[in-house]
Amino acid sequence: MIIVITGASKGIGKAIAQEFAAAGNQLFLCSRNPHQLYETVQELQSRFPTCEVKGQPADLSLRADITAFSEWVSSFGIPDILVNNAGQFIPGSIYNEPEQALETSLSVNLLSAYHLTRSFLPGMMKRQSGHIFNICSIASLAAYANGGAYSISKFALLGFSKNLREEMKPFGIKVSAVLPGAAYTDSWAASGVDPSRLMEARDIALMIHAASRLSAQACVEDIVLRPQLGDL
């Protein structure tokens, strides 16, 4: 299968890529950091020689990069699975967060998924199959302190997922919203929080991979994961 994963060079995106690579799929990855991306591609190809891993740097807050990446992927075929994982967290509250925080958050966390998905939908709809995973957040469900523009953008991504799910039902295309709580990634490394208090990035990846393997008659609409002791 052709698997497309954005924001795939580290953290949750990389963990998702590892699970699909281990299953011998054909992976197309992107991230903003070329060095980290190509390191990840090389690592996965070395660990999982039965799969094929390709990467192309892309800043998905830019429409030109979205177009270039989608055209590159489409030259190999129509994705079977699209994981919209690219995202950015800008801390702050609505009243004091940096200027353009909302615009940036919407561009990276919502519009990247919206436009990239739209670029692949015609082919998926014609084929009558596909599975789209949107990596939302617990912040999509409830506001929290210092969440500001990030939480707004993740609420919007969940809304996009729900609308897309309804629209794609007649075309055999599944849409799953993934809403993880705190998982240990690079962004938590300097926080001082005990890693055992957090989920592992692989926890999210395992759930996504499992959901992708269900019969054509079944769709996991929402995947909500939290640390065992609850949100931080």
pLDDT in tens, 60-103: 999 999 999 999 999 999 999 999 999 999 999 999 999 999 99
When pLDDT is averaged across residues 7-31 and rounded to a whole number, the result is: 97
Helix (H, G, I), strand (E, B) or coil at 134: strand
Strand pairing of 173-180 and 130-135?
A: parallel
Question: Could you report the per-residue pLDDT of 95-137, keeping only the tens digit for each?
Answer: 999 999 999 999 999 999 999 999 999 999 999 999 999 999 9
Pair of tokens at residue 164? 């897309």
Helix (H, G, I), strand (E, B) or coil at 4: strand
Cβ partners under 8 Å of residue 136, min gap 6: 154, 157, 158, 161, 177, 178, 179
CA neighbor of 54 nearest in space, from 70, 32, 38: 38
Q: What is the chain's mean pLDDT, rounded?
A: 96
Structurally, the chain folds into a number of domains equal to 1
Question: Could you report the per-residue pLDDT of 195-215, keeping only the tens digit for each?
Answer: 889 999 999 999 999 999 999
Quote the pLDDT of residue 188.
Answer: 74
* Contact assessment for residue 133 and residue 101, using Cβ atoms and an 8 Å cutoff: no
6 band by pLDDT with thresholds 50, 70 and 90: very high
pLDDT of residue 222 exceeding 80: yes
When pLDDT is averaged across residues 135-156 and rounded to a whole number, the result is: 94
Pair of tokens at residue 37? 């991306």
Helix (H) or strand (E) holding 223: strand 222-225
Would you give the end-to-end CA distance of the chain in angstroms? Answer: 37
Q: Give me the catalytic one of 38, 95, 114, 150.
A: 150
Share of the chain above pLDDT 90, in %: 92
Which structural domain, as residue segments, surrounds residue 191?
Answer: 2-225
Helix (H, G, I), strand (E, B) or coil at 51: coil
Helix (H, G, I), strand (E, B) or coil at 165: helix
Residue 12 lies in a domain: yes
Residue 131 lies in a domain: yes
φ and ψ of 107, to 5 deg: -65, -45
Q: Which CATH number does the domain housing residue 141 bear?
A: 3.40.50.720
184 band by pLDDT with thresholds 50, 70 and 90: confident
Quote the pLDDT of residue 66.
Answer: 98
Residue 230 lies in a domain: no
Residue 81 lies in a domain: yes
Decide if 150 is catalytic.
Answer: yes
Residue 232 lies in a domain: no
Residue 98 lies in a domain: yes
CA distances from residue 110 to 73, 105, 153, 157, 227 in whole angstroms, order as listed: 20, 7, 6, 5, 25
Quote the pLDDT of residue 232.
Answer: 83
Cβ partners under 8 Å of residue 129, min gap 6: 80, 172, 173, 216
Distance CA 87, CA 31 (A): 10
Whose structure tokens read 């789209």? 132
3-state helix, strand, coil in the chain (%, to 5): 45, 15, 35
CA distances from residue 231 to 109, 144, 197, 222 in whole angstroms, order as listed: 21, 11, 9, 18
